[in-house]
Amino acid sequence: MLELPADEALIAGEWRRGAGPPVDTVDPATGRTLTTVHSVSAEETHEAAERAAEAAAEPVWRELRPHLRARLLHRIAELIEHDADRLADLQTADTGKSRTETGALVSSAAGTFRYTAAALETAEDAVTPSRGPYVTLSLHEPIGVVGAITPWNSPVASDAQKLAPALAAGNAVLLKPAEWTPLVALALGRLVHRALEEAALPAGLLSVLPGPGSVVGEAIVGHPRVGKVAFTGGTATGRRIGRVAAEKVMPVSLELGGKSPTIVFEDADLERALAGVMFGIFSSSGQSCVAGSRLFVARSRYEEFTDELVARTRDLRVGPGTDPDTQVAPLVHHRHRDAVAAHVERARAEGARVRCGGRAPEGERWRDGAYYLPTVLDGLPHSAAVCQEEIFGPVLVALPFDDEDDLVAQANDSVYGLACGIWTADHRTAWRVARRIEAGTVWINTYKQFSVSTPFGGMKDSGLGREKGREAIRGYQRQKSLYWSTDDHPLPWAG
């Protein structure tokens, strides 16, 4: 039996029903309403920001030694691990994602807290070379209040990626989940709240504020107490947040969209490449920022490779996320499924060859769910909208390439620069192409592998800043330089 969170938001250290309008959260596998969550209002967001600023300034938090803050993060990880099944079930119900995947996301969230705790304990400030009779220090301090705004596709992992380093750095956090998928952030909020209580730390250090981006998101970003926003979501929203940040002269990190190329060279191990290409685009039903949604295949192997790819794609098992055999689960929401279908219809109208999929599955079993069949398209030039725009669904567009220069020109002809996959047996080709492609992450003979210790982020319209890695904590701090006189030497203008 699925344990649903109460209809309460965590506002300024207190659990209560939001004063904004109710929003139904829907199980996309069935179309049934799971529960209703009241949004918080702009006034409540203001209240949370004010309380967060007070909490961040309280000596018990501000002066807490790093090893004790690390202990808090380990405790949060422990609570996540303890509740792992419940959190994964909740996320599957809320997002439609397969249970295998949500299990992995929950475990990655716990891992993020643990890794960040270790990074925090080993983070060092610097004594810099001095040019006079004084000691010079470069120190890092918390920003104060951080806004963390996340999308619906991998909530628990993207929440943790912001929450862990922001708390490690000594801040208070206002977390805003996506309107379609607030449940797992609320459940995570309960765990963090409990860990804060156990450690006798101010409850106002975390608020979880469900509600629409246009109200709650904007209230967070524009609030004068909020000193940084860490955002994951679409490029248009990221740009909007960036404009407000520029006005406030506030740092912002933006993890945005992608249209990532996945490249199969003539000499690639085709068996591995087929598996990697399919996993790269169709896992998470393509609702992944790094989805390998543009496939480039050496012209000499193009027909052979795409024929086999299409045959195997037809065999992928579509079904509800709760079925352990499911490979392609429903999309997050019926409205999103319809948006994906509209992209495919447009491509069809422009002359695309629909090699497989291109529609929702038919029949009683699929009627109420937000399903869409894994789809392979080709036959369009790289300038076509379907090659340029992020679809964020199980839709792969395939193109041939003639040589390395042709490939690099096509692959880089995109506003995005998030990820790239290269399949080749030649280490020289892999090295050259990996360095020439504009992408924040490049996978060679693998795809969609992640490690919390490796920085992640985009180039070009795919974003600004990096998450993960030892440096993640620094993204939530401000630097201060200190000059400390060590003797009584005469100062300029003295006497």
Residue 70 or 241: the one with the smaller Cβ distance to ligand NAP is 241
DSSP state of 109: H
In the annotation, is 308 catalytic? no
Residue 24 or 402: the one with the smaller Cβ distance to ligand NAP is 24
CB of 175 to ligand NAP, least distance (A): 10
CA-to-CA distance for 93 and 2, rounded, in angstroms?
8
CB of 178 to ligand NAP, least distance (A): 4
Residue 13 or 222: the one with the smaller Cβ distance to ligand NAP is 222
Residue 123 or 291: the one with the smaller Cβ distance to ligand NAP is 291
Sign of the torsion formed by the C-alpha atoms of 183, 185, 191 and 193: negative
Q: Which residues bind ligand NAP (CB under 6 A)?
A: 149-153, 176, 178-179, 212-214, 217-218, 221, 232-234, 237, 240-241, 255-258, 289, 390, 392, 418, 458, 463
CB of 176 to ligand NAP, least distance (A): 5
Pick the closest to residue 463 from 248, 231, 250 (CA basis): 231
CB of 487 to ligand NAP, least distance (A): 51
CA-to-CA distance for 374 and 318, rounded, in angstroms?
8
Residue 57 or 415: the one with the smaller Cβ distance to ligand NAP is 415
**Which one from 255, 390, 438, 467 is the annotated catalytic residue?**
255
Residue 83 or 255: the one with the smaller Cβ distance to ligand NAP is 255
Residue 52 or 221: the one with the smaller Cβ distance to ligand NAP is 221
Helix (H) / strand (E) element for 480: namely strand 477-485
Identity of the residue numbered 143: I
> Using an 8 Å Cβ cutoff, are 210 and 177 in contact?
yes
Which structure tokens are listed for 460? 């070009």
Residue 79 or 148: the one with the smaller Cβ distance to ligand NAP is 148
CB of 417 to ligand NAP, least distance (A): 11
CB of 216 to ligand NAP, least distance (A): 7
CB of 40 to ligand NAP, least distance (A): 11
Q: In what order do the strands lie in the sheet with 9-11?
A: 14-16, 9-11, 206-208, 172-176, 145-149, 226-232, 252-255, 463-464
Pick the closest to residue 375 from 400, 405, 354, 401 (CA basis): 354
CB of 194 to ligand NAP, least distance (A): 24
Coil, helix or strand for 36?
Answer: strand
CB of 62 to ligand NAP, least distance (A): 28
Distances (CA, A) of 25 to 34, 187, 198: 6, 14, 31
CA-to-CA distance for 409 and 436, rounded, in angstroms?
10
> Using an 8 Å Cβ cutoff, are 457 and 440 in contact?
yes
**Burial 280-302, CB ≥16 within 10 A → b, else e:** bbbbbbbbbbbbbbbbbbbeebb
CA-to-CA distance for 105 and 221, rounded, in angstroms?
27
Q: In what order do the strands lie in the sheet with 375-378?
A: 353-356, 375-378, 395-401, 294-298, 261-264, 419-423, 441-444
Residue 250 CB neighbours (<10 A): 19
Residue 173 or 241: the one with the smaller Cβ distance to ligand NAP is 241
Pick the closest to residue 149 from 162, 138, 140 (CA basis): 162
Positions marked active-site:
255
